[in-house]
Amino acid sequence: MNANALLLHRTAKPLLFAAALLPLAALLYGAIANTLGANPAEALIRSTGDWTLRFLCLTLAVTPLRQWTGWHALARLRRLLGLFTVFYGVLHFLCFAWLDMGFALDAIVRDIAKRPFILVGTAAWLLMLPLAATSFNRAIKALGAKRWQQLHRLVYATAGLAMLHFFWMRAAKNDFAEVAVYAGVLSVLLGWRLWRRLAAWPHRPTRA
């Protein structure tokens, strides 16, 4: 059975769904078993943020991988990966709002306004919400394919803001190793899209 056949199998999506929940299960177990280290709140906030960035990279990797490998059935998994990006982004924001701020709305607003890295992280999260809300077939039909595609290019702004958020957060501790890895991955994924558009111009637009 080739890769496309495996990706088209009816168990592919359920298996991906279950795998995408494993990081959450590990964090919940760590919280219950008290194995998240000296500062469990910080571990939960940072880990959910890390998984948001990882799922964002996986989502953006689908189209290049389809082109490079010929595994065109990967396209059917992109929506699920995108929704899990938003899912972990929501968990990341909720962990910050609850564990750092105690759900005090005035304190949350002040902290967002005061700290630039939280401001850009919140902006990235807010940009993801309309993408999740319009990720379904009914929304595509309502918007029309062209407008839907234009709206979903917000994912590029989301990626840039998320990377800036991650950079500023790690800069506070002078820890840039992971930043360089994610920056490299996103540079390849977004640079490939830019190259395709420049190569296709002025003939016809290419799909993002």
Tell me whether residue 160 is exposed, middle or buried, using C-beta atoms within 10 angstroms of its C-beta: 0 to 12, 13 to 18, 19 or more.
middle
Classify residue 155: in a domain, yes or no: yes
Q: Residue 208 is encoded by which pair of tokens?
A: 């993002």
Classify residue 177: in a domain, yes or no: yes
Residues making up the chain, counted from first to last = 208
CB 176 within 8 A of CB 135: no
Classify residue 208: in a domain, yes or no: no
Classify residue 205: in a domain, yes or no: no
pTM for this one? 0.92
116-133 and 75-95 helices cross at what angle (nearest 10)?
A: 140
Give DSSP secondary structure letters for 157-203: HHHHHHHHHHHHHHHTTT--HHHHHHHHHHHHHHHHHHHHHHHHTTT
Whole-angstrom distance, CA of residue 104 vs CA of residue 81: 31
Classify residue 108: in a domain, yes or no: yes
Query: What are the pLDDT digits (tens) for 34-91?
Result: 999 999 999 999 999 999 999 999 999 999 999 999 999 999 999 999 999 999 999 9
Classify residue 207: in a domain, yes or no: no
Classify residue 110: in a domain, yes or no: yes
Whole-angstrom distance, CA of residue 78 vs CA of residue 55: 10
Q: Give me the number of domains the chain comprises.
A: 1
| Per-residue pLDDT in tens (0 to 9) along the chain, 208 residues | 688 899 999 999 999 999 999 999 999 999 999 999 999 999 999 999 999 999 999 999 999 999 999 999 999 999 999 999 999 999 999 999 999 999 999 999 999 999 999 999 999 999 999 999 999 989 989 999 899 999 999 999 999 999 999 999 988 778 889 999 999 999 999 999 889 888 877 655 555 4
- Residue 132: domain span: 3-200
CB 171 within 8 A of CB 177: no
Classify residue 117: in a domain, yes or no: yes
Region of residue 70 (phi > 0: left; psi between -120 and 50: alpha; otherwise: beta): left
